[in-house]
Every structure is written in structure tokens, then in C-alpha cells.
Amino acid sequence: MDVVLANAKDVKNITERKTDESDAEWLMLLHQDGLLKASFQPHNDAKRMKTFTRHRDPLSREASSIVLRMQKAMQ
């Protein structure tokens, strides 16, 4: 069985699909015909680096605001 993580935007505007069962069947048919595009999944190293970067950004902003407060207190 080939499992694909697909982007919902690619198939959300399809009409006449009113139930989860018919949606699942429609997605299966698209996948069988090769029309369902798989989403990009980065490797673990890239995920880890992205997490560190997202965590570092607010910390650096907070550090700069703390430095400004310290400078203001010294004046």
C-alpha cells in the first residue's frame, strides 16, 4: 500500500463530494491515476533545524528588548 500525504488545497474545490466516504473514494481514484500530488516532507535534520530556528527567533527578540530596558534604566 502506497500512502501519500496530500495537500487539501489541491482537492478542496471538487464539487459533489458530500460525505467522508465519497471523499475518500475520490482521493483513492485520484491517487490511482497519479493525479494526487504528494506534499513535501523534509528529513529529520531539516525539521530539527527549523524547530531550533523558530525557537531562537523569539528569544533573540526578547533579549534585545531586555538590553534596551537595561540601557534605559542606566540612563
Task: Please give the Cα distance from 60 to 68 (Å, whole number).
Answer: 13
Residue 11 DSSP one-character state: T
pLDDT tens digits for the chain (75 residues)?
Answer: 778 888 777 777 666 657 778 778 888 888 888 888 888 888 888 889 989 999 999 998 899 899 999 999 999
Whole-prediction pTM: 0.47
- Which pLDDT score, from 0 to 100, does residue 19 have? 77
- Which pLDDT score, from 0 to 100, does residue 17 have? 58
- Which pLDDT score, from 0 to 100, does residue 16 have? 65
String of b and e for 36-74 (b: at least 16 CB within 10 Å)? Answer: beeeeeeeeeeeeeeeeeeeeeeeeeeeeeeeeeeeeee
